[in-house]
Amino acid sequence: MRYCPTCGHQVEQRIPAGDNRLRHCCPSCNAIHYQNPRLVLGTIPTWENRILLCRRAIEPRYGYWTLPAGFMENDESSGEGAERETVEEAGARIELGEPFSILDVPHVHQVHMFFLAPMLGPQLDPGPESLEARLFNEADIPWDSIAFRTVSQTLRWFLEDRRRGAYSLHTATIRYEQRAPAPADARTDVQTDARASQADAEAGARTDTRTTAPGARSGAGGRT
Amino acid sequence: MRYCPTCGHQVEQRIPAGDNRLRHCCPSCNAIHYQNPRLVLGTIPTWENRILLCRRAIEPRYGYWTLPAGFMENDESSGEGAERETVEEAGARIELGEPFSILDVPHVHQVHMFFLAPMLGPQLDPGPESLEARLFNEADIPWDSIAFRTVSQTLRWFLEDRRRGAYSLHTATIRYEQRAPAPADARTDVQTDARASQADAEAGARTDTRTTAPGARSGAGGRT
């Protein structure tokens, strides 16, 4: 941010009175423009024993497979956003279930949340953000071509819980770690650009996971 | 937003190609400026049988009681944010537990998430955003002076779960509903300003709640 969205004057970075962080502040109209993480909402759509994945038709990670997911919009609930993305990217009809995983990705200023989502039928109609959408048996999941670490981690948790017959809420933080330097004769391959992109999170990330007690959430879905 | 934060030109609202929503678009540098909901992170700090509440020293809801909570910052995880707010607002030392409640508040573009948080001692040291911080027995909770609906709902869930001896994840959406018109002779009191503020959420809101099965999460806290 270089200019004030309110009045158009150049902003400066300073710590406002009573605050302890650098903010974009406008010296002309005195507005303070906060920047905060965004929520990415997705689902784990399932039909019989199969899991729905979409192949991305957009960057980042064009051509890689993902669970349907996207940025939460203003004026919607998190469940509505997750369902909307599932319709937009896969054309799948689901019954939205419980939140299943919450993954913080601090270096890209994102929190990813995936919901359980039994499908109401096997019909798919992928939208323009997907090259294709397909139902996968566990043995056929393209682990080497999963777009994001948050997706592969969620899939692993889901498959473990399904085997156990009980779904818990899972949480994790995915940290960025610069990869160890390569040998001198391979230096041209070293990734030296530390831009915080989602693809970086995949390339060199550490995951701290935390899971609720086994057995939690079996038969979940009651409403109060 | 009236001016482009990137180049300072006046923005216009239009639906970009491949999108289906109005966005702030810059006709000069072609930047698209998305606006998305923000996460509010908080805790339910407990010491023995008592629950920590803070009395707000800032608007909105100056003088009302709240659980410690605030906006998630860039470069932190959701758990780190919740713990930071607890230290800043109450000076309480906690052991951060599981996410306990997730409440969507679509009309103010917020998602509130509260974590379980057993305290490591009863010492408190409220910061400048709090008039005071105090530990309450259930019977003494100032229900008529709770700042936000997300806080009172979280407290009710917490007390129910504590009575049952098992903590589940709870989710809800708090919708804005305009209050019914008052009688004609009282029209000067009618709230006609529909600005989306947190206080509005409190004044005229409907809560759709959803809770996981009873018994879930007892003995939670395992890490994988």
Mean predicted confidence (pLDDT) in A42-47: 98
Quote the minimal CA–CA distance from B209 to chain A in Å.
6
pLDDT value of position B101: 98
How do residues A167-194 score in pLDDT, each as one tens digit?
Answer: 999 999 999 865 555 555 443 333 333 3
**Arithmetic mean of pLDDT, B168-177:** 92
B88 contacts: CB under 8 Å, gap ≥ 6: B68, B70, B127, B129
Burial string for A22-37 (b: 16+ CB within 10 Å, else e) reads ebbbbeeeeeeeeeeb
Task: Pick the residue of B72, B87, B129 with the most A CBs within 10 A to test the interface with A by mutation.
Answer: B72
Chain segment A51-105, per-residue pLDDT in tens: 999 999 999 999 999 999 999 999 999 999 999 999 999 999 999 999 999 999 9
**Structure-block tokens of residue A108:** 């890209």
Q: What percentage of chain A carries pLDDT values higher than 70? A: 80
Which pLDDT value is given to residue A85?
98
pLDDT at A219: 35
- Average of per-residue pLDDT values in chain B: 86
**Is B98 in Cβ contact with A5 (below 8 Å)?**
no
Q: Please tell me which of the candidates A4, A71, A102 has its beta carbon nearest to residue B99.
A: A102
pLDDT of residue A197: 44
A28 torsion bin: left (phi>0), alpha (psi -120 to 50), beta (else): alpha
Q: How far is B185 from chain A (nearest CA, A)?
A: 34
Summarize the confidence of residues B169-190 as an average pLDDT. 65
Burial status of residue B161 (CB atoms within 10 A of its CB: 0-12, 13-18, 19 or more):
buried
Residue A177 neighbours by CB distance under 10 Å: 12
**pLDDT tens digits for B81-117?**
999 999 999 999 999 999 999 999 999 999 999 999 9
Mean pLDDT of B64-82: 98
Pick from A18, A106, A211: which is nearest to B76 by CB? A106
Largest CA-CA distance found in chain B, in angstroms, rounded? 63
More confident residue, A223 or B111: B111
Q: What is the model's pLDDT at position B193?
A: 34
Q: What's the ipTM?
A: 0.83
Q: Give the per-residue pLDDT at B18.
A: 86
Q: What is the pLDDT of residues A124-139, one digit of tens each?
A: 999 999 999 999 999 9
**What DSSP string runs through A56-71?**
ESSSSSTT-EE-SEEE
Kindly report the nearest CA distance between residue B183 and chain A, in angstroms: 31
